[in-house]
A and B are shown apart, each in its own frame.
Chain A
Amino acid sequence: MLKIDGISSHYSGVQALDEIFLALAEGEILALVGGNGAGKTTLLNLISGIIRPSRGKIVFKGKNIVSFSPEKIVELGIIQVPEGRHLFGPLTVRENLELGAYRRRGKRNKKKISEDFKYILQLFPVLEKRLNQRAETLSGGEQQMLAIGRGLMGKPVLLLLDEPSLGLAPLVVQEIISVIERLRKEGTTILLVEQNARAALRISDRAYVLKTGKIQLQGKASDLLEDEEVKRAYLGQDS
Chain B
Amino acid sequence: MDFSQQIAQYIVTGLTIGAIYAIVAMGFNIIHNATGIVNFAQCEFISLGGMFMYSLVVLFKVNPMISFFISMAGVAIIGALIEIGPIRHARSKEIIVLIFLTIGLSEVLRGTAQEVWGTDNVGVPAFSGENPIHLLGGGTIVPQHIWVFAITVLVMLMLHYFFKKTLMGKAMRATSVNRRAAALVGISVNRIILFSFAFSGALGAVAGIIIAPISTTSYDTGIMLGLKGFAAAILGGYGNFAGAILGGVILGLLESLGAGLISSQYKDAIAFFVLLLVLFLKPAGIMGYGEAERV
- A: residues with CB less than 8 A from B are 48-50, 69-71, 74-75, 79-80, 82, 86-91, 95, 98-100, 102-103, 105, 134, 150, 154
A91's partner among B177, B183, B189 (CB-CB below 8 A) is B177
A74's partner among B177, B180, B186, B292 (CB-CB below 8 A) is B186
Contact A91 B174 (CB under 8 A): yes
Residues of A within 8 A of B182 (CB): 88, 99
Of A49, A88, A100, A150, which is in contact with the most chain B CB atoms at under 10 Å from its CB? A88
- The tally of residues in B whose CB lies under 8 Å from a CB in A reads 20
Residues of A within 8 A of B136 (CB): none
B185's partner among A50, A69, A102 (CB-CB below 8 A) is A102
Contact A90 B187 (CB under 8 A): no
Add 4 more A-B contacts to A82-B181, A102-B167 (CB < 8 A): A71-B187, A80-B184, A98-B170, A99-B167
User: Do A102 and B181 form a contact, CB below 8 Å, given A88-B173, A90-B292?
Assistant: no
Interface status of B188 (Cβ within 8 A of chain A)? yes
Contact B174 A69 (CB under 8 A): no
Contact B185 A90 (CB under 8 A): no
Interface status of B178 (Cβ within 8 A of chain A)? yes
What total of A-B pairs shows CB separation below 8 Å? Answer: 75
Q: Would you list the 8 A-B pairs with minimal beta carbon distance, nearest first?
A: A90-B293, A74-B186, A103-B186, A70-B183, A86-B181, A71-B188, A88-B174, A102-B185
User: Do A70 and B170 form a contact, CB below 8 Å, given A88-B177, A89-B177?
Assistant: no
A71's partner among B174, B177, B183 (CB-CB below 8 A) is B183
Interface status of B171 (Cβ within 8 A of chain A)? yes
**Shortest Cβ distance from A90 into B: residue:** B293
Contact A90 B167 (CB under 8 A): no
Contact B185 A74 (CB under 8 A): yes
Residues of B within 8 A of A98 (CB): 167, 170
Contact A91 B173 (CB under 8 A): yes
Measured in the bound complex, the distance between the Cα atoms of B182 and A44 in whole Å is 16
Measured in the bound complex, the distance between the Cα atoms of B178 and A88 in whole Å is 6
B270-295 contact mask (Cβ, 8 Å, vs A): 1 or 0: 00000000000000000000011100
**Shortest Cβ distance from B181 into A: residue:** A86
A86's partner among B173, B180, B187, B189 (CB-CB below 8 A) is B180
B170's partner among A50, A82, A95 (CB-CB below 8 A) is A95
Measured in the bound complex, the distance between the Cα atoms of B178 and A134 in whole Å is 15
Measured in the bound complex, the distance between the Cα atoms of B181 and A100 in whole Å is 10
Residues of A within 8 A of B293 (CB): 89-91, 134
Residues of B within 8 A of A75 (CB): 186
Residues of B within 8 A of A50 (CB): 180, 183-184
Contact A154 B178 (CB under 8 A): no
Measured in the bound complex, the distance between the Cα atoms of B183 and A150 in whole Å is 13
Residues of B within 8 A of A89 (CB): 177-178, 291, 293
Residues of B within 8 A of A91 (CB): 170, 173-174, 177, 293
B194-234 contact mask (Cβ, 8 Å, vs A): 1 or 0: 00000000000000000000000000000000000000000
Measured in the bound complex, the distance between the Cα atoms of B55 and A31 in whole Å is 66
Contact B186 A71 (CB under 8 A): yes
Contact B170 A154 (CB under 8 A): no
Contact B184 A48 (CB under 8 A): yes
User: Would you list which residues of chain B between 156 and 195 have a CB under 8 Å from chain A?
Assistant: 167, 170-171, 173-174, 177-178, 180-189
Measured in the bound complex, the distance between the Cα atoms of B181 and A103 in whole Å is 13
Residues of A within 8 A of B185 (CB): 74, 99-100, 102-103, 150, 154
Measured in the bound complex, the distance between the Cα atoms of B181 and A87 in whole Å is 7
B182 to chain A, nearest CB (A): 8
User: Do A79 and B170 form a contact, CB below 8 Å, given A86-B178, A90-B292?
Assistant: no
Of B183, B184, B189, B291, which is in contact with the most chain A CB atoms at under 10 Å from its CB? B184
Residues of B within 8 A of A82 (CB): 180-181, 184
| 9 sampled A-B residue pairs with Cβ under 8 A | A86-B178, A86-B181, A90-B293, A91-B170, A99-B171, A99-B174, A102-B186, A103-B186, A134-B293
